[in-house]
Chains A and B, each alone.
Chain A
């Protein structure tokens, strides 16, 4: 039995409609990964400059925070960018409905050619 969201029937539906609720981890995935990267970068810098791994712990905190902040901003910017892009496309479809007819749903039996086995010997 098929689960998940219902397949879209029109192009407009494809670009709109309520999005499914995101899991918590995927909501904050990028800032968390960025923060971790910042932390690891400072540890690496300490290793290269021959310092103990965790000396100057304030720099680890600052590095993690800075990277988390940057990735949070980048993530938001990216979401806004795609939201705007979808809105533009939606608007275009609304203005030119004649170019975007509802999808003609096909089944595989209509797409695939009949299978005719040919057997030698």
Chain B
């Protein structure tokens, strides 16, 4: 009976004379700065939440609504593609066009250089071999090393960490994010390494265990842009770009690159297309950003039903669900990162002897800027320590580009 009343009431209300425009198609799509209406005409948005300094708790939930900040541009866009395809250039351009935040490709410089700008790799000569730093430069020079698996796991972890930051940014500020490669595509490198013989079966299995345990905590991106470049052209691009450690690398062979391409296209894009929007461009001759922008503006992100697999991760029926997600990514990053706090005793490459680990920790804890929490290092020029109590609320990765020499 109550249903009848409700339906009847709805009909009367929806046939109301005030609803002139009910037959207009409602389309919400990403809009660039040039095409969107000026800010004065848009509904007023609360200020971006300072998620780096301020927690978002149950108390804040009472007066701060997450969905109030979300608009058509609050999206995660990922630019994918092979090496030297021009991803970061496109990603930067898109970020500028759409007024989004550009996150540079996650790299180990983000953790090897500490908060005070001290490069922890400088300590390598004093460290035992098992604890020395190992970043992409070392990998490309010497791929058949025991640290390759550690490097690849660290790459995954840092991409995971960056993706959490991206989600926290979108949900806390409402500003979209453009990523240059993301955590979902990282397995492509593992496969390429495995097929080139740089990783053994056990390591690959362990990598996937970490991945499968952790990846379902995240929300998949809205849009993936894949820049397709054939392998010979990639080789040419690498030579043209002439980054010292990439140019003469034993790693970036046609075999390695074609495995990457295969897994990109046959695994990554195939699985992700079930959820995310996909744009694929032939980028062998660098394309026009304008066209990409237009294509993105044409995508209607609202054309799916809530039951569809498309964009399912982002379906929130209640304000509370938004709040919970935002709290998870903005405040609970450390708990999410605990997925990687698992010792791997079955993999000899990842084992470090106790005495060597002790030497490593002693040295790291006494490195300049590492002695105390950020903001408490008197030697690095922090002041007012006697009465200081606060600390960093979450560990957000710096927006640091990979060094190119």
Are A and B part of the same complex?
yes
- Chain A: residues with CB nearer than 8 A to chain B? 49-52, 54-59
**Chain B 335-380 interface residues, beta-carbon cutoff 8 Å to A:** 371-373, 376, 378
Chain B residues near A54 (CB, 8 Å)?
Answer: 386
Q: How far is the CA of A50 from the CA of B388 in the complex (A)?
A: 13
- Chain B: residues with CB nearer than 8 A to chain A? 371-373, 376, 378, 385-389, 391
Q: Assess the A51–B387 pair: CB atoms within 8 A.
A: no
Q: In the complex, how many angstroms separate the beta carbon of B360 from the nearest chain A beta carbon?
A: 17
Chain A residues near B373 (CB, 8 Å)?
Answer: 49-51
Q: Assess the B391–A57 pair: CB atoms within 8 A.
A: no
Q: Assess the B386–A57 pair: CB atoms within 8 A.
A: yes
Of all chain B residues, the one with the shortest Cβ separation from A50 is B373
Q: Assess the A55–B391 pair: CB atoms within 8 A.
A: no
Q: Assess the B389–A56 pair: CB atoms within 8 A.
A: yes
Q: Assess the A51–B372 pair: CB atoms within 8 A.
A: yes
Q: How far is the CA of A57 from the CA of B388 in the complex (A)?
A: 8
Q: In the complex, how many angstroms separate the beta carbon of B369 from the nearest chain A beta carbon?
A: 12
Chain B residues near A58 (CB, 8 Å)?
Answer: 387, 389
Q: In the complex, how many angstroms separate the beta carbon of B392 from the nearest chain A beta carbon?
A: 11
Q: How far is the CA of A58 from the CA of B387 in the complex (A)?
A: 7
Q: Assess the B388–A49 pair: CB atoms within 8 A.
A: no
Chain B residues near A57 (CB, 8 Å)?
Answer: 386-387
Between A and B, 11 residue pairs with Cβ closer than 8 Å are: A50-B373, A51-B372, A51-B373, A52-B372, A52-B376, A52-B378, A56-B386, A56-B387, A57-B386, A57-B387, A59-B389
Q: Assess the A51–B376 pair: CB atoms within 8 A.
A: yes
Q: In the complex, how many angstroms separate the beta carbon of B59 from the nearest chain A beta carbon?
A: 22
Q: In the complex, how many angstroms separate the beta carbon of A117 from the nearest chain B beta carbon?
A: 63
Of all chain A residues, the one with the shortest Cβ separation from B384 is A55
Q: Assess the A50–B387 pair: CB atoms within 8 A.
A: no
> Nearest 5 CB-CB pairs, A to B?
A56-B389, A50-B373, A55-B385, A51-B376, A50-B372
Of all chain A residues, the one with the shortest Cβ separation from B372 is A50
Q: In the complex, how many angstroms separate the beta carbon of A84 from the nearest chain B beta carbon?
A: 43
Chain A residues near B372 (CB, 8 Å)?
Answer: 50-52
Of all chain A residues, the one with the shortest Cβ separation from B365 is A50
Q: How far is the CA of A56 from the CA of B387 in the complex (A)?
A: 4
